[in-house]
Structure 1
Amino acid sequence: MNHSKTIRALKPRSGFPAFVILWATQALSTLGSSMTGFALVIWSYRQQGSALTTALLSVCTYAPYVLIGFFAGALSDRWDKCRTLLVCDTLAALSTLSVFVLYRAGSLAVWHLYVLNAANGFMNAFQQPAGDVAVSLLAPREQYQRVGGMQSFSNSLVTILTPIFASAVLAFGGMETIIILDLSSFCVAFLALVLLIRIPAAPPAGAPKSVLREGLEGLIYLRRHRGVLDLILFLAAINLTASVFNAALPAMLLSRKGGGEMALGLVNTCTGLATVAGSVAVSLMPPPKSRVRVICNTLLFSMGIENILLAFGRELWIWCLAGVLGWLLIPVMNANMNALLRSYIPLDLQGRVFAARNTLQFFTIPLGYLLGGILVDRVFEPLLAAQTPGSVLQLLFGDSKGSGAAMLFAVLAVTGELTCLIFRRDRHIWALEKSK
Structure 2
Amino acid sequence: MKNIWSTLGELRGFLILWCTQTLSTLGSAMTNFALVIWAYQQTGSALSTALLTVASYAPYVAMSIFAGALSDRWNKKLTMLASDTFAAACTVAVLLLLATDNLQIWHLYGLNALNGLMNTIQQPAGDVAISLLTPKKHYQKVSGLRSFSNSLVSILTPVLATALLAFTSIQTVIYIDLATFLLAFFALAAFVKIPEAAREGEKEGVLRAARKGLAYLRDNRGILNLMLFLAAINFTASIYNAALPAMLLSKTGSETALGAVNAASGLAMLVGSAIATLAPAPKSRVRVICNTLLISMSTENFFLAFGQSTPVWCLGAVLGWLPIPLMNANMDVLFRSRIPVAMQGRVYACRNTLQFFTIPLGYLAGGALVDRVFEPFMAAQSADGLLAQLFGLGKGSGAALLFLVLAVMGILTCLIFRRVKSIWHLEGIEQNR
Say whether the fold is shared (TM-score over 0.5). Answer: yes
1:392 shift after superposition: 3.3
Partners of 2:330 and 2:96 lie apart in 1 by 42
> Structure 2 matches for 1:364-383, cutoff 5 A?
364-383=358-377
Is it true that 1:114 corresponds to 2:75 in the alignment? no
Whether the 8 Å contact between 1:52 and 1:372 is mirrored in structure 2 is no
Residue 208 of structure 2 aligns with which residue?
A: 213
> Structure 2 matches for 1:300-379, cutoff 5 A?
300-379=294-373
Q: CA 1:377/1:103 → structure 2, altered by over 3 Å: closer, same or farther?
A: farther
Query: Which piece of structure 1 moves more, 359-368 or 314-323?
Result: 314-323
1:47 shift after superposition: 4.3
- Deviations 1:13-64 (CA, angstroms, capped at 9, x unpaired): 9962011011111111111111222233333344445443332221111110
Q: 1:229 aligns with which of 224, 228, 232?
A: 224
Q: 2:177 aligns with which of 179, 182, 207?
A: 182
Residue 69 of structure 1 aligns with which residue?
A: 64
Residue 6 of structure 1 aligns with which residue?
A: none
TM-score by length of 2: 0.93
Residue 295 of structure 1 aligns with which residue?
A: 289
Whether the 8 Å contact between 2:73 and 2:202 is mirrored in structure 1 is no
Whether the 8 Å contact between 1:35 and 1:182 is mirrored in structure 2 is yes
Residue 259 of structure 1 aligns with which residue?
A: 254
Partners of 1:286 and 1:295 lie apart in 2 by 15
Residue 50 of structure 2 aligns with which residue?
A: 55
Query: Which piece of structure 1 moves more, 234-243 or 402-411?
Result: 402-411
Partners of 2:137 and 2:319 lie apart in 1 by 30
Residue 424 of structure 1 aligns with which residue?
A: 418
Partners of 1:40 and 1:249 lie apart in 2 by 20
Q: 2:196 aligns with which of 175, 194, 201?
A: 201
1:130 shift after superposition: 0.1
Partner-residue secondary structure (3-state), 1:204: coil
1:357 shift after superposition: 1.1
Whether the 8 Å contact between 1:60 and 1:117 is mirrored in structure 2 is yes
* AA of the residue aligned to 1:129: P
TM-score by length of 1: 0.92
Partner-residue secondary structure (3-state), 2:393: coil
Partners of 1:329 and 1:148 lie apart in 2 by 14
Partners of 1:266 and 1:176 lie apart in 2 by 27
Whether the 8 Å contact between 2:60 and 2:120 is mirrored in structure 1 is yes
Q: 1:85 aligns with which of 73, 80, 84?
A: 80
Query: Which piece of structure 1 moves more, 107-116 or 241-250?
Result: 107-116
1:207 shift after superposition: 5.5
Partner-residue secondary structure (3-state), 2:204: coil
Residue 412 of structure 1 aligns with which residue?
A: 406
Q: CA 1:51/1:185 → structure 2, altered by over 3 Å: closer, same or farther?
A: same
Whether the 8 Å contact between 2:72 and 2:199 is mirrored in structure 1 is no
What is the aligned-residue RMSD (CA, Å)?
1.9
Partners of 1:342 and 1:248 lie apart in 2 by 34
* AA of the residue aligned to 1:236: A
* AA of the residue aligned to 1:331: P
1:258 shift after superposition: 4.9
Residue 5 of structure 1 aligns with which residue?
A: none
Whether the 8 Å contact between 2:141 and 2:277 is mirrored in structure 1 is yes
Partner-residue secondary structure (3-state), 1:288: coil
Unaligned runs of 5+ in 1: 1-12
Q: CA 1:38/1:314 → structure 2, altered by over 3 Å: closer, same or farther?
A: farther
**Identity in percent:** 61
Partner-residue secondary structure (3-state), 1:208: coil
Partners of 1:390 and 1:333 lie apart in 2 by 42
Q: CA 1:64/1:329 → structure 2, altered by over 3 Å: closer, same or farther?
A: same
Whether the 8 Å contact between 1:233 and 1:361 is mirrored in structure 2 is yes
Q: Kindly tell me the number of residue pairs found equivalent between the two proteins.
A: 422
Q: CA 1:285/1:71 → structure 2, altered by over 3 Å: closer, same or farther?
A: same
1:361 shift after superposition: 0.4
* AA of the residue aligned to 2:32: G
